[in-house]
Amino acid sequence: MDFKSYLRDRLVYILFYFINTFFVIVIMMLDLIIRKDRLKLANVVYAFLLSLIFLILMMAIDYMKKIRFYKIVNEGLDNSHNLEYIFNIPDHISKEHDVLKELLTTNYMIYEEILEKYKKNYKTQVDFNNRWIHQMKTPISVIRLILDNEKDKNTDESTGKSYESIQEEIEKLSNGLEMALYTLRVNNFELDLKIEEIDLLEIVRNVINENKNTFIINSIYPKIISNENIKVKSDKKWIKFVIGQIMSNSIKYSKVKESNDKSIIINFEKENEKVIFSIEDKGVGIPKQDITRVFNPFFTGENGRKYLESTGMGLYLSKDICHRLGHGILVESTEGIGTKASIIFYDGKSIYHL
């Protein structure tokens, strides 16, 4: 609060002060009239000037007394994310200000107590979810091994297809757990980060290998256009998750399309001071009205409602992670023709450096 605001808040008091002065002068004039005397105009002006001087002096003293309070409150308003300014509010300015400070301090302590309680509950929930997800990954791995063994033993075509279907559902379950795990970890992103030079081709091959059963079952063929050994600065684990999510989407929306060509094209391009990594499929594509919303959390769009396999979180997490790593990400698509998702790695422009 500045001095103008201070005056504006006290306009009513100033008005009443002058009205009071006016009535005092009127009473003096009436008294003089009764005594058949006359009040000089100079005395009236003098009375008003004297009152004005005392008013200005009184308000100046009051403002100077409270200026520290206003200064700290203004700092608190400018920095609304930090509430500790409350403790810097000076004491004993007035009883009213002391009561206000006590109220603010009490509310702050209650807020801190409630916040701490929710933090503790949230941490407990996150720890439980982390443990539960890790525990679920173990039986999934065991089921995979059992399926692989049984599949090798059994040559019956119908049973083999059943095993393949079960294997595909297990992959979906595994991917879902992986996404849930990374959704929990992204809140503590900086604590789980290691920036280094990574080989993109190696990561892509690992992702393809992890999804090989899904590729085979759905007759989808990944094609790597560039064999150049391109290295970029990023976090290996996080960027692998992003590539995995994009690859998973490409598989998901390629397998539902009736086509003889279900290939997924993976390409690396080096342009000036950036590397563009892209995954392009020939799937069902994204409707024009949905393309601007694909990075929104929980947005599944028309395809999600039609094929019932989308969570709406894969691309949202991918964009969030790329943003935190200092990479760009974009999606281009034509409905019925296919989708191309690209990650842009900027040379020397990442927010993190080695």
| pLDDT (0 to 100) of residue 354 | 40
The number of beta carbons lying within 10 Å of the beta carbon of residue 320 is 19
Helix (H) or strand (E) run with residue 279 in it = strand 274-281
Spatial separation of the C-alpha atoms in residues 134 and 145, rounded to whole Å: 17
The pLDDT value given to residue 136: 85
Please name the residue that has the structure tokens 């399926």: 147
Would you call 235 helix, strand, or coil by DSSP?
A: strand
pLDDT, tens digit (0-9, with 9 covering 90-100), for 47-97 = 778 888 888 888 888 788 777 777 777 777 777 667 777 777 777 777 777
What is d(CA 296, CA 229) in angstroms, rounded to the nearest whole number?
Answer: 33
* Per-residue pLDDT, 1: 58
Across the beta sheet with 328-334, the strand order is: 222-224, 264-271, 274-281, 338-346, 328-334
Q: Which CATH superfamily is domain 193-354 in?
A: Histidine kinase-like ATPase, C-terminal domain (3.30.565.10)
Domain boundaries, the chain: 3-91, 94-190, 193-354
203 burial level (CB within 10 Å; 0-12, 13-18, 19+): buried
Whether 292 shows a pLDDT value over 80: the answer reads: yes
Tokens at 17, concatenated: 């002060």
